[in-house]
Amino acid sequence: MSAAQGAKDGLVSVVMPVYNAGVWLADSIGSLLAQQFGDWELLAVDDCSTDDSLARLRQWAAQDSRIRPLALPCNGGVAAARNAGIDAARGRWIAFLDADDRWAPAKLELQVADMRARDLEISYTAYQRVREDGSALSHVDPPAEVDYARMLRSNHIGNLTGMYDRRLGVAHFRKVGHEDYVFWLEMVRRAGRAARVPHAQPLAYYTVRGGSVSSNKLRAAGWQWRIYREIEGLGLVRSSGLMLHYLTHALRKRRS
């Protein structure tokens, strides 16, 4: 039986990698508990935290059976944690919420309704980039629809906004730089297209932390180049043109 055949229709499986995130969990899980759509399960995968993250997760699980803590036997990184969550998921749809990010209350309700109405296999939303204190940095409003060619120019799917239908088959994150981008690039290639929820306001809030890998622009650019050349196997000329698109989009996104 395939993952899609064994999945529960109507259930959204939310995958959350957790590593030393005790100070953030109340806000992220609180935003999930506040969802207007209630048919979800949370696969919170603790990646061998050294703080009280796992204990906190178990406390929430004791209060709400939809919360399912998982504990990895050794630290494997964010890709391994997400993959463990995906493998344990029981829902038709898979969504992602990191332990320091938040969702707006209508996020799941609007997204599931739109996927059903348009028979979408991949959906994403607009989102807000915020500082650690919650103050706004920039609003990210991605295109209404993307295909593989457009995704090659830039990652238009914020991982905390993305949702996919398990009809697309088994999917895992690779342990590479920009693992989110590589994942959604492959999923859009499979689906042929992905579409944004047609809602004007941001439905998710991405926390930009000072020490996060996404804050290192030079390293991120190096990862992007490697994706073009080594993972996607593109030629030098095409890779160079796509790299220019990527850098231009990244600059525009942070200024918007």
- The pLDDT tens digits of the residues spanning 137-175 come to 989 999 999 999 999 988 999 999 999 999 999 999 999
Q: Are 159 and 78 in contact (CB under 8 A)?
A: no
pLDDT for 1 equals 47
DSSP 8-state class, residue 215: G
Burial 189-214 (b: 16+ CB within 10 A, else e): eebeebbbbeeeebbbbbbeeeeeee
State the pLDDT confidence band at 116, using cuts at 50, 70 and 90.
very high
Q: Is the pTM of this model over 0.95?
A: no
Chain-wide mean pLDDT for the chain? 92
What token pair was written down for 237? 């000329």
CA angle 222, 142, 187 (to 5 degrees): 65
Query: Higher-confidence residue: 222 or 91?
Result: 91
Label residue 5 by pLDDT band (50, 70, 90). Answer: low
CB of 2 closer than 8 Å to CB of 69:
no
Residue spans of the domains in the chain: they are 8-255
- The least confident of 6-10, 93-97, 214-218 is 214-218
Measured in whole angstroms, the distance separating CA 103 from the mean position of its chain's CA atoms is: 12
pLDDT at residue 250 above 80?
A: no
Nearest-angstrom CA–CA distance, 19 and 23? 11
How far apart are the C-alpha atoms of 136 and 221, rounded to whole Å? 24
What is the tens place of the pLDDT at every residue in 38-76? 999 999 999 999 999 999 999 999 999 999 999 999 999
How far apart CA 17 and CA 101 sit, in angstroms, is: 11
Give the model's confidence band at 213: pLDDT under 50 very low, under 70 low, under 90 confident, else very high. Answer: very low
241 to 48, 137, 221, 247: CA distances (angstroms) = 41, 28, 14, 10
**What is the CATH number that goes with domain 8-255?**
3.90.550.10
